[in-house]
Amino acid sequence: MKKTLSCSFIFYFNLFICLAGLASCAAQPEKAGREPVKVIFDNDMGNDIDDALAIDMLYKYADAGIIDLIGITSNKVEPASVEYIDILNNFYGYPDIPVGRLTGVEQYDRPNSYALQTAADPSYKRSIGNYDSLPESVDLLRRLLAAQQDSSVVIIATGFSTNLARLMDSKADASSELDGMELIRRKVKHLHMMAGDFRQENPIQEHNVVFDIPAAQHVYDSWPTPITTSPFDVGEKILYPVESILNDFGFTDKHPVVEAYKVYKKMPYSRPTWDLTSVLYAIEPDSGYFEVVGPGRVHVDGKSITTFTPEAGGPHFYLAADSLQRERIRNRFVEIITREPAALSRETER
């Protein structure tokens, strides 16, 4: 018999967790009463479907007033990457979120990506008339950071480090008299990355590192704020359930994330949640979903292998999760992603 995860199941599961003392209901960000966190999402939308699931979470956090998603930058050169982001911004009711694109590099791109296939559907609403006119991601990053208060911005990076490295090397411009390193030092509170593999035995050449090794090295060697990394093995062990994709989105006839999921690989499949783990910890760091290892330092060698060395006062940390935490994390993902977007709810009320 096929099992499905319903919203009611998730509700009672989380209620049980709270009553059992395994998690604090007060730790949930909806209850925290904090000012919205300023978030920039830097991603390689179109390579793996986890980017699409991750950005869904960010829109839902924005719906709840937990974050202010101030900008989205793509580090993927395929034009459909930013077009798909534009489609998502409109679908979720955030058409004015600025988008940046990457050009000028030869970079790995998956041909016929889910972004390209979904963007081929003309029925999805768009706001950007000319994607070639979008600012370079590094220019948008500089403009966004310059406009924020000091130590107020969280960057979540779930793709290559190209844009981050370009930001570090950027010079003073019309947006700010500060160079990139000083702008980051002043404005960024924390960088959260999905990257690397810190297992001592048989670590892999992780995707987000291997296709721009110099950029990853530059970021881990010199980025001037704390970095928390969610490594490959964490998200690999937490699968987003295909049953949810098939059953939990009846609130709309056509969902651009669900449709993209269906064309990314031959259905049915449950996909690892690499990028989602960085989003979850960045926005809910005090909810006990992860163990945090550190402080220390991450090193990226010339073959893209990452290692972590403990160091008192070091700037780097990484995430780990046991089996119980992984179950809680997966259920939290389903709970958030299956919520009806606020924009659709408002349309229904009309």
Residue 350 — very low, low, confident or very high, per pLDDT cuts 50/70/90?
A: low
- Residue 16 CB neighbours (<10 A): 11
Query: CB neighbours of 147 closer than 8 A, spacing ≥ 6?
Result: none
Residue 6 pLDDT greater than 50, yes or no: no
- Of the listed ranges 3-12, 139-148, 181-190, 317-326, the least confidently predicted one is 3-12
Nearest of 300, 73, 52 to residue 167 by alpha carbon: 73
Asked if residues 281 and 317 have their Cβ atoms less than 8 Å apart, the reply is no
At 96, phi and psi to the nearest 5? -95, 0
Whole-angstrom Cα distance, residue 85 to residue 141? 16
Whole-angstrom Cα distance, residue 304 to residue 216? 8
Whole-angstrom Cα distance, residue 87 to residue 348? 20
Residue 34 pLDDT greater than 70, yes or no: yes
How much is the pLDDT for 108? Answer: 67
Per residue in 39-84, pLDDT (tens digit) is: 999 999 999 999 999 999 999 999 999 999 999 999 999 899 999 9
Residue 14 pLDDT greater than 70, yes or no: no
Give the DSSP letter string of 19-87: HTTSS-GGGSGGGT-PPPEEEEEEE-TTSSTHHHHHHHHHHHHHHTTSEEEEEEEE----HHHHHHHHH
Per residue in 210-247, pLDDT (tens digit) is: 999 999 999 999 999 999 999 999 999 999 999 999 99
The encoded tokens of residue 28 equal 């949930």
